[in-house]
Amino acid sequence: MNASNYAAVIRANLQKAFEMAPTALAERLDAPCREGEVIFSAFGCDCRLAPEGIRLMGRTDQGPRGVIISLLARRASAEACIDEP
């Protein structure tokens, strides 16, 4: 998959994720929301999610890591995680 394909997948996932308010998404990800961005740590880096894209350590990420993060945001659940079966 080339970079433009990753970028398209990320955009589609973020579009779905941000159908809810950024504050609601932040709550589902257990992360703070500032100025419409959801902020948390991913892959050991500062991560900022916004409808426009994903930034890791201040740089736009449109690669495989961005796809994984965008999927996490898209599928964020309001239900509590179960640590053990």
pLDDT per residue of the chain (85 residues) written in tens, 0 to 9: 666 899 999 999 999 999 999 999 999 999 999 999 999 999 999 999 999 999 999 999 999 999 999 999 999 988 876 777 7
Q: Say what the pLDDT of residue 79 is.
A: 81
Q: How much is the pTM?
A: 0.88
Assigned domain for 82 exists: no
Q: Say what the pLDDT of residue 69 is.
A: 97
Domain that holds residue 62: 3-74
Of 76, 74, 75, 58, the residue nearest 11 (C-alpha): 74
Assigned domain for 22 exists: yes
> Which helix (H) or strand (E) covers residue 49, if one does?
strand 45-50
Backbone angles phi, psi at 64, to 5 degrees: -60, -40
Structurally, the chain folds into a number of domains equal to: 1
Q: Say what the pLDDT of residue 48 is.
A: 97
Q: Are 19 and 79 in contact (CB under 8 A)?
A: no
